Amino acid sequence: MKTYSKSDLMRLAIEEHLKCEEFPRVGVVISKSGKILATGFRGETKGVHAERVAIRKLTKDKLYGATVFTTLEPCIELHEGQEVESCAQLLIDSGVDEVVIGVLDPNGTIYSQGFRKLLENNINVSFFNRKLRQAVEEETFEFGDVHKVYGCGKRRIPVVYSGTEIKVQFSQKDERSIDIKWSTLQSIHGCVDLHSSGGAIRIASGARNFGDVSDPTVFRFPSHCERLEKDMIAIVKPNNSTFYVLIQLIDIFENDIIFKWEVRNDK
């Protein structure tokens, strides 16, 4: 049986996650002493997470002391009475010695909690190298890099600790961009702060959808930071920018938000 280096096993886990036909993509390789024991990817068995797919292929004896390479942070229990145990708990109960993670899950409900749960249960945790983490980031989520968006769309992002910075690029071919940052999420009050540089943000007061905004300059009181509540629309246009971004807060949760955006050339 061939012996692989740790970097090789990371790459093989990425090869597994590229087999996924659904997002987020997740691939797993289980090894011991550099030898592959099992692999798995999300969707290989319908409705079953990649870690569970791979673990089911092995006996408890083979799993004991093994190292698991997973491209995405293992999930945790999201509510009491959950019928299926989380992947983090499954790994803990399996007797594996180490888990090597590609990227932490950007879902604010999970972010860093799977990582912490493993550590709290004496599982050694390490991460893919920086170059391979970037490759995982670009291929794991439906929209690629969680810190860059293009054109128009909708996504769910975590807003934790110091906040989440995002570069809004006009398109994949047009590299003009505007930087925004979400911070100070207060789910109990139903609001979150949107930042951009130098008085770039205006609230489109009264607008209910993007089609209601025909000219961003009709809205007064530009600021570098605006507090948004659900359904509010903000216009982000820094000085000298040749385009602007419409942003609407769609929903708000304890640790993350859903927002949509649309870029428009400045007339």
pLDDT at position 142 is 58
**pLDDT reported for residue 81:** 65
Strands 233-236 and 124-127: unpaired
Cα–Cα dist 61/88, whole Å: 19
Digit-coded pLDDT (tens) for 125-152: 999 998 898 888 777 765 556 688 889 9
Question: What mean pLDDT is predicted for residues 94-103?
Answer: 96
List residues bridging with 260 in a β-sheet.
154, 248
- CATH classification (class only), 6-140: alpha beta
- Distance from the first to the final alpha carbon of the chain: 64
pLDDT in tens, 177-195: 999 999 999 999 999 999 9
206: left (phi over 0), alpha (psi -120 to 50) or beta: left
Q: How far is CA 176 from CA 27, 205, 228, 243, 245, in A?
A: 34, 27, 25, 8, 12
The average pLDDT across 21-50 equals 94
**Does residue 160 sit in helix, strand or coil?**
coil
pLDDT digits (tens, 9 = 90+) for 115-128: 999 999 999 999 99
Strands (E), the chain: 27-32, 35-41, 67-72, 98-103, 124-127, 148-150, 152-158, 164-169, 177-186, 191-195, 201-203, 225-229, 233-236, 243-252, 256-265
> Which residue ranges make up each domain of the chain?
6-140, 148-265
The 10 Å CB-count burial string (b at 16+, else e) for 192-211 is: bbbbbeeebbbbbeebeebe
Q: What pLDDT does 135 receive?
A: 82
CA distances from 133 to 100, 149, 206, 237 (A): 11, 18, 42, 32
Residue 114 phi, psi dihedral angles, 5° rounding: -65, -45
Closest CA to 198 of 214, 218, 179: 179
- Cβ distance 224 to 199 under 8 Å? yes
Output 110 or 45, whichever has higher pLDDT.
Answer: 45
Whether the predicted pLDDT of 21 surpasses 60: yes
Q: Are 234 and 250 in contact (CB under 8 A)?
A: no
State both tokens at 1.
Answer: 């049986």
Neighbours of 74 (CB within 10 A): 30
Tell me which of 51, 73, 226, 262 is the catalytic residue. 51
83 labelled catalytic: no
Q: Average pLDDT over the chain, rounded to whole? A: 91
Backbone angles phi and psi of 78, in degrees to 5: -100, -15
